[in-house]
Amino acid sequence: MIKDSIQQNENITPNSRQLEVLKEHFPSCFKADGSFDMERLKAEIAGTTNVVQEGYELKFLGKSYAKLLASTETTTVIQPNEAHNSLPENASSENIYISGDNLDGLKHLLKSYNGAIKCIYIDPPYNTGSDGFVYADNFNYTKETLQEKLSVSEDEAERILDLTKRGSASHSAWLMFMYSRLLLAKDLLSNDGVIFISIDNNEQANLRLICDEVFGEENFIENFLWTKTSTPPSLSTKSRKTSEYVLCYERYRNDYKYNGDVLSGGDQPLLNSGNSIRTLIFPKDKIRFNKSKFPDGKYLPQQPDRVSLKNEITIKDGIPDQDVILEGPFKWDEDNLKSEIDLGTTFIIKSEIFSIRFLSTKEGFKRPKNYISEMIITPAINKESNGVGTNENASTEIEELFGSRVFDFTKPTTLIGYLLNFVVQEEDIICDFFSGSATTAHSVFNLNAADEGKRKFISVQLPELLSPEIDSQRAAYEFLKENNLPTTLDYIGIERIKRAAVKIKEEHPDKEMDLGFKHYILQEPNQNTLDKLDSFDKASLLADTTIMEEFGKPTILATWLNADGYGLTVQAEAIDLAGYTAYYCQKHLYLIDPGFTLESMKALLSKYDAEGHFNPENMVLFGYSFPDWSINEMIEKNLRILNDGEKNLKINFTVRY
C-alpha cells in the first residue's frame, strides 16, 4: 500500500529499473555487497555482441530526473467508480477507463499488464506554445534530495526544480515529461507489440531521438505522414501546414506484415524486383491475355523484358491453347502459386512484355504507404467514410455525438482505426494514455462493430479542471455543467464513449458487443491520511479503522488485485469465515477488516481441508486493521501447520501498509 511505497521510494535511484533487469538476467555480475561489476558483464556477453565505446544520444536537462520518476512507485490508490461499474452494460466489461495522471496510471498498469498490450496509440501535447502544455508535477523533491539521488551539481538540481516547480513549456520540459512515460510504456507492450505516436514539427525530431533510445533504433518502423486538413490556414509566409507525423516503433522488430488498404479486387503485380528468378506454370484456364495487345496467333519463346515466355503458345480471343510457362523475379514459388489457384486466384497479362498480374478473390491487404492521405475532401455529416479522414472529419464526429464542438484538435476515428488495423487482431488490448476525447476507445468500438471482434481498450486521462474563462475549454465546460457532470476533461472522454456505444448499438442492434467500460479514479491520499499512516503505532493494540474508511474497502481491493497481477476487470469472491468476511481471488486471500478471530482461523483451516479447489497460496492482511501482533502470530502459527501438513502447501503471509 501507500506507506510501503513511500518507504521503497526513499531508496530509489534513476537506474533502479535498469539494475533490477540486470539482476534478474545477470545475477553473477553483482558482488556480495550489491555493487555491479561491468567487467563481468562484458565477459558474459563476449563473443555475442560488439561492445563499442562511443555512441550518440540526446541529452537534455532533467533526463536523469525523468528516469527517477519512472523508477519510483506510485503512491496513488485505485478507486473504482462503483455506481458506474455496477451498471448492466459495465459489470462484465473488459474495457477500462482510468481518470488520473498517466505516469501513475502506467505504473499501476505495469503490475498486471506488463507485456500484455498489443498496440499503444498516443496523441501527446505537441508543445506548440498554444496547446496548453506546461510541465508540472507534485513530487516535491528538495534540491538536496535531487543532488543526492541524481548525482548532479547544486546548479543543475536548481534548474531541474525550476522546470518542475514553476512550470515550463521548453524542449527540456517536454522531453522530461515524455521520456519517463515512454520508458514505462515500452514495458507494457507485448513482444510483438507496436506503438504509434502522433506528433507535429515542434518536437518530431526530438521525439524520434528519445524513441530511438527507449525502444531501440533497430525497432523503428516508419514515420508516417498524415494529411491532417484539406483547408490549411494561410498564416505562414513560408508553407501551409497540411500534415502531421505518426511515429511507429515495435517492441522487437519482426517479420509480421502490416495491413494497409484493403485489396479492392483489382489486379496486383506478381513481379517483385530483387527476388530470385523462378519458373512458374500457369494453367491455361486461369490466365488471360489482353486482346488488343495479343491478337490471335502463335507466340514463340521470347524475353521482351524481365519475364521470359518459355514455351510456344497459340492465343485466340485472349485465351492460350495450353499452360503458359513463364520465368521471372516472381513473388511466389510453385507451392504458393498452387495455393493461390486453389483459392480462386486468376491471372492476366496486359502488355507485350508479359508483365503478369494476379486477381485474388480472397480478402487481403496492401502494405501501408508511409504517406497516409485523407480520402475525403469535404466533410459532410452522416456521410460514410471509406478512407482516413482529417481534423475536419474529427470535428464532425464530435459534433454528431455532442451536438457541438466540445473538443478541439482531436483525431478522426478513421485514422486511429487505420493504424490499429496494421497489427491488431480480434482479441488484442489497445492502450491510449493520452486519451483526450477518447477517440481511440471509439475507434476500438468501430473495429469490433465491423467484424464482431473482442478488442479491448485501456484509456488513461488526467482529470484536468476545465475553465469557462479559457476559449478552447469553454464549450466542454458548459456541456459538462449543463449535464450535471464533473467539469474535468476526463468526463468528456467518458461521455463520448457512452454516446458512441449508444450510436453503435442503434446501428448494429443484432450484434453482441462489449460496449461498456470499467471506470477507476487514481487518488492521492490527502495529508491527513498520510499523517495517520506515518504516526500509526503497531503496538497500540487498537485497529485504526479510520484509515480503512478513508481509503474504502473497494479501493483497497482494487489496488491489491491489480498489484497482484489480476488486472482491473476481475472481482474478488467474498468468503465467510465464521462471521468474518475475507476476499478470495485465485492465489490470494485478502483480510481487510478487523475482527479476524481464532474461530475464523479454524473456519479457514477447515475450508483448506474440505474444498480441493480452494487453495490460495498467499494471505494478505491490511496492517492497519491488525495492529495486535498476537493475531498475526496466531495466523502464522496455523499457516506453518498447514504448510507442514500432508497437503504440502506453501502459503505466504504478508502484511501491507
Q: What is the pLDDT of residue 3?
A: 66
Residue 313 burial class via C-beta count within 10 angstroms: exposed 0-12, middle 13-18, buried 19 and up: buried
C-alpha 259, offset from chain centre: 19
Q: What is the pLDDT of residue 643?
A: 82
Residue 191 phi, psi (nearest 5): -60, -30
**Count of CB atoms within 10 A of residue 439's CB?**
27
Q: What is the pLDDT of residue 543?
A: 55
- Give the integer Cα–Cα distance in Å for 271 and 278: 10
- How many residues does the structure list for the chain? 657
- Give the integer Cα–Cα distance in Å for 35 and 30: 6
Asked if 494 contacts 83 with a C-beta cutoff of 8 angstroms, the reply is no
pLDDT digits (tens, 9 = 90+) for 383-420: 333 478 888 889 999 999 999 889 888 999 999 999 99
The pLDDT of residue 362 is above 90: no
Residue 619 phi, psi (nearest 5): -115, 125
Asked if 566 contacts 585 with a C-beta cutoff of 8 angstroms, the reply is yes
Q: Is 210 helix (H, G, I), strand (E, B) or coil?
A: helix
Q: Which residues contact 482 (CB under 8 A, 6 or more apart)?
A: none
Residue 609 phi, psi (nearest 5): -75, -35
N-terminal to C-terminal alpha carbon distance within the chain:
5
Q: What is the pLDDT of residue 370?
A: 84
pLDDT digits (tens, 9 = 90+) for 102-159: 999 999 999 999 999 999 999 999 987 767 777 776 677 888 888 888 888 889 888 8
Residue 281 phi, psi (nearest 5): -110, 115
Which cell goes with 483? 449535464
Asked if 362 contacts 344 with a C-beta cutoff of 8 angstroms, the reply is yes
Q: Degrees (nearest 5) of the Cα angle 349, 352, 355?
A: 45
Give percent above pLDDT 70 in the chain. 84
Q: Is 343 helix (H, G, I), strand (E, B) or coil?
A: coil
Residue 568 phi, psi (nearest 5): -110, 10
Asked if 608 contacts 600 with a C-beta cutoff of 8 angstroms, the reply is no
The pLDDT of residue 290 is above 70: yes
CA distances from 471 to 168, 408, 439 (A): 21, 11, 22
Q: Residue 573's beta-bridge partner residues?
A: 584
Q: Is 474 helix (H, G, I), strand (E, B) or coil?
A: helix
pTM of the model: 0.81
Range scoring the smallest mean pLDDT among 264-273, 337-346, 601-610? 264-273
Mean pLDDT of 452-478: 94
Give the chain's mean pLDDT. 86
Residue 123 host element (H or E): none
Asked if 458 contacts 430 with a C-beta cutoff of 8 angstroms, the reply is yes
The pLDDT of residue 266 is above 80: no
Q: Which residues contact 508 (CB under 8 A, 6 or more apart)?
A: 449
Asked if 523 contacts 468 with a C-beta cutoff of 8 angstroms, the reply is no
The pLDDT of residue 75 is above 70: yes
Identify the CA nearest to 552 among candidates 502, 622, 499: 622
DSSP 480-530: HHHTT--SBTHHHHHHHHHHHHHHHHHH-TT-------EEEEEEPPPHHHH
pLDDT digits (tens, 9 = 90+) for 369-383: 888 876 544 333 333
- Give the integer Cα–Cα distance in Å for 439 and 260: 20
Residue 657 burial class via C-beta count within 10 angstroms: exposed 0-12, middle 13-18, buried 19 and up: middle
